[in-house]
Amino acid sequence: VTQLHFMYSKFADAFSQFQAFSEVTRKNVQEKDPLKADRIRLKQWRLKINFALLSTVAADRLNTGDNQRMENVKSKGVRTRNTMRINKEAQTSGLPKMRLRSEVDRQDSKSNVYAVFELPSAEQMQLMIASNDMVSTVMYWIIWDLADCMKDID
């Protein structure tokens, strides 16, 4: 099992669990409390967007060499945060190339573009570029939304 397989398995588990519990709650309250149902629907959409974004930045990190760097760190026993960052993030040279899912030819295996449900806002892009760790930044947004939604999920 590669780092990529492990990563996607964990992401899918987390998203699926949230989606299942939130959808059951949303359907149960749809008629009784439409405002609550709308809040849950919005969180479902935001989390779908952010999990796709998390997948993008994490896959890009692994694709651009972080996987090999992790193996080197593991074998040498060096565990500093700086050694775990890839050069692209350390130099803040930019974000992965992203396009809306509907605009991406998924049959084109040579494309270096990641498909997302919604492009990050200008503010999100600035935050990711300024961050020392884009993956952790997006993960924080996901955790924030999960925590914020807990008051509505039964």
pLDDT in tens, 58-96: 888 887 765 555 555 556 665 555 555 544 444 445 799
- The whole-angstrom separation of Cα 20 and Cα 18 is 6
Burial of 77 per CB tally in 10 Å (0-12, 13-18, 19+): exposed
Confidence (pTM): 0.77
Helices 3-29 and 34-61, interaxial angle, to 10°? Answer: 170
- Over residues 105-126, mean pLDDT: 87
Question: H-helix or E-strand containing 115?
Answer: strand 114-116
pLDDT at 14: 93
What integer pLDDT is reported at residue 83 of this predicted model?
53
| Radius of gyration over every alpha carbon of the chain, rounded to an integer in angstroms | 18
Task: Report d(CA 131, CA 154) in Å as an integer.
Answer: 34
Euclidean distance between CA atoms 19 and 37, whole angstroms: 13
What would the pLDDT profile of 6-49 be if each residue is shown by its tens digit?
A: 888 999 999 999 999 999 999 999 999 999 999 999 999 999 99
